[in-house]
């Protein structure tokens, strides 16, 4: 029985247990008071403990006897005045922004919205409860960490020129695989299964990029049309793996990532830090909105009841303010250290560099990432745009970071759609997109890449290869020579005869189509000799090259 709560410490944020209890600290600038609410296994609220001290905007207290495994949430008392941007409402149980594990996934419900604060319904039955976890330096949290080297793996440096990046969804990639035990299908545990690793090796990829894995919620408009957010691009708890993907928590994530790395793959994570799943002014109150709405989000200057929407998702996080920089850095560090990831792909990265007056290449979060010893050794790939003013920032991110090239993406989309006049541009793009930010989008630092979202049917991943430009006597255009070896039959290393094909049948069909399309468009063809030790590959191949193809 908890009889008292002491002053505790303002740092670290979150609930941090020790031998005698746990320290609780919550940043809540909009609130007048914050309480730590404890729940039992039947989801009943057993205690509501006001945090007795406030240091700056951090409420804190020490709870004797609080142990790992305890389920908890937060409540905040303060002004509810949407017109001024403040939305404190103690009827809304809030998820700790620094929670590292949740007991269930988020479920969208109209009750979670706070339009009528005085008559609000208690949302505790609808909101996931955070789970107190032991510190990460104890054996309880690190069974898969023992002896694992600091990443990126020193034996396998990340060579930009030789990467084939394969994007996959943890659930979708493994959910129906017949060789994986049904109990673990659709989870991180399935990624460590030998059948998955064997398949990735057969594809010849070098890097696996996992789609977002932080705990997320459906977008507000989706249930109305019978849909759900499947991809995970709507996070609420940035430091907690989604229970649907990792029911075993961080241990399960780390075990899967380690298995992939031990098999020779780099492992990257798609991270969404530009917005939260609380959405626009009509969205649910789940975490940051009820604690520090005016500080966590960028509100419109002309109407603080509304949110700036540079991400096209209803809100954006104010990542130039110290509390939000700290939260974003904590999220990146935990996925790097506890998850063991080799690096990150930053969704809508322009938003991460925005200040009040627009994008700044020296913005606080971008600067913090470059100087942080944990993140400085990781691979970082920026998606260099958002939909706000001045949102297209290709070429503006820190040296050493990769950037997705949307022009390559659009070219490949038109190519697969069958636009014959695009053949020449395809050849140019496969030659390395040397006409766009030469030395930045190609070469040793950044890949030329496709930004296509995976489909839910046949193609479930994005494959990116980089290539070098070569010429031969008698030719006038660039040619694509893939530099990344592919796996042929029986594991034999091969050189793909056609950069857009991965099987003899597909290559024959592609090149037959290309020849006919080239004849219709008037493009010329340049013969390219390929060699391989895989049956079915002989002779010269052609890639159409148009001397008048657009290069912009």
- Catalytic annotation, residues: 347, 383
Q: How far apart are CA 455 and CA 512, in angstroms?
A: 26
Instruction: Output the 3-class SS for 132-201.
Output: CCCCCCCCCCCCCCCCCCCCCCCCCCCCHHHCCEEEECHHHHHCCCCCCCHHHCCCHHHHCCHHHHHHHH
Contact partners, residue 119, CB within 8 Å, separation at least 6: none
Contact 107, 229 (CB under 8 A): no
How far from chain centre, in Å, is Cα 178?
27
Q: How far apart are CA 423 and CA 406, in angstroms?
A: 17
399 CB burial (10 A radius; 0-12, 13-18, 19+)? exposed
Q: How far apart are CA 479 and CA 477, in angstroms?
A: 7
156 CB burial (10 A radius; 0-12, 13-18, 19+)? middle
How far from chain centre, in Å, is Cα 94?
23
Tell me the torsion sign for CA atoms 145, 146, 151, 154.
negative
Angle in degrees, CA 199, 205, 206, rounded to 5: 125
DSSP 3-state of 307? strand
How many helices and strands, by DSSP H and E, does the chain display?
Answer: 11, 27
């Amino acid at each position: 029985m908890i009889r008292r709560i002491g002053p505790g410490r303002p740092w670290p944020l979150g609930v941090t247990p020790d031998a005698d209890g746990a320290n609780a600290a919550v940043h809540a600038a909009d609130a007048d008071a914050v309480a730590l609410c404890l729940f039992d296994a039947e989801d009943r609220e057993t205690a509501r403990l006001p945090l007795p001290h406030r240091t700056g905007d951090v409420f804190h207290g020490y709870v004797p006897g609080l142990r790992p495994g305890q389920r908890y949430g937060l409540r905040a008392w303060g002004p509810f005045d949407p017109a001024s941007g403040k939305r404190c409402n103690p009827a809304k149980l809030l998820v700790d922004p620094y929670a590292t594990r949740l007991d269930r996934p988020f479920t969208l419900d109209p009750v979670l919205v706070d339009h009528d604060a005085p008559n609000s319904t208690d949302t505790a039955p609808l909101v996931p409860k955070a789970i107190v976890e032991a510190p990460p330096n104890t054996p309880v949290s690190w069974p898969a960490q023992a002896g694992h080297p600091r990443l990126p793996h020193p034996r396998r440096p990340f060579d930009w020129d030789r990467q084939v990046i394969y994007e996959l969804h943890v659930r979708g990639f493994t959910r129906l695989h017949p060789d994986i035990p049904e109990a673990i299908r659709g989870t991180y545990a399935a990624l460590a299964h030998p059948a998955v690793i064997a398949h990735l090796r057969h594809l010849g990829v070098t890097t696996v990029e996992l789609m977002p894995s932080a705990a997320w919620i459906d977008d507000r408009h989706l249930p109305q049309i019978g849909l759900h957010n499947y991809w995970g691009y709507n996070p609420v708890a940035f430091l907690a793996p989604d229970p649907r993907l990792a029911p075993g928590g961080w241990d399960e994530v780390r075990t899967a990532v380690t298995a992939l790395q031990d098999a020779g793959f780099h492992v990257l994570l798609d991270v969404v830090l530009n917005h939260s799943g609380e959405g626009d002014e009509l969205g649910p109150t789940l975490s940051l909105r009820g604690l520090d709405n005016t500080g966590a989000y960028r509100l419109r200057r002309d109407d603080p009841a509304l949110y700036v929407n540079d991400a096209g998702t209803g809100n954006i996080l104010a990542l130039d303010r110290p509390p939000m920089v700290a939260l974003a850095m904590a999220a990146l560090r935990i996925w790097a250290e506890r998850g063991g990831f080799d690096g990150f792909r930053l969704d809508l990265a322009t938003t991460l560099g925005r200040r009040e007056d627009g994008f700044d290449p020296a913005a606080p979060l971008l600067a913090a990432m470059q100087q942080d010893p944990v993140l400085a050794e990781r691979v970082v790939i920026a998606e260099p745009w958002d939909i706000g003013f001045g949102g297209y920032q290709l070429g503006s991110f820190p040296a050493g970071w990769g950037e997705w090239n949307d022009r390559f993406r659009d070219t490949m989309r038109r190519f697969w759609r069958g636009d014959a006049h695009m053949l020449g541009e395809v050849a140019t793009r496969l030659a390395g997109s040397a006409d766009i930010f030469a030395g930045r989008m190609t070469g040793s630092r950044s890949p030329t890449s496709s930004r296509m979202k995976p489909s839910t049917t046949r193609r479930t991943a994005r494959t990116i290869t980089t290539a070098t430009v070569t010429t031969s006597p008698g030719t006038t255009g660039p040619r694509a020579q893939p530099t990344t070896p592919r796996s042929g039959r029986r594991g034999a290393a091969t050189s793909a005869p056609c950069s857009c094909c991965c099987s003899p049948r597909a290559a024959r069909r592609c090149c037959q189509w290309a020849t006919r399309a080239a004849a219709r468009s008037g493009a010329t063809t340049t013969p390219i000799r390929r060699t391989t030790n895989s049956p079915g590959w002989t002779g010269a191949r052609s890639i159409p090259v148009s001397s008048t193809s657009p290069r912009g």
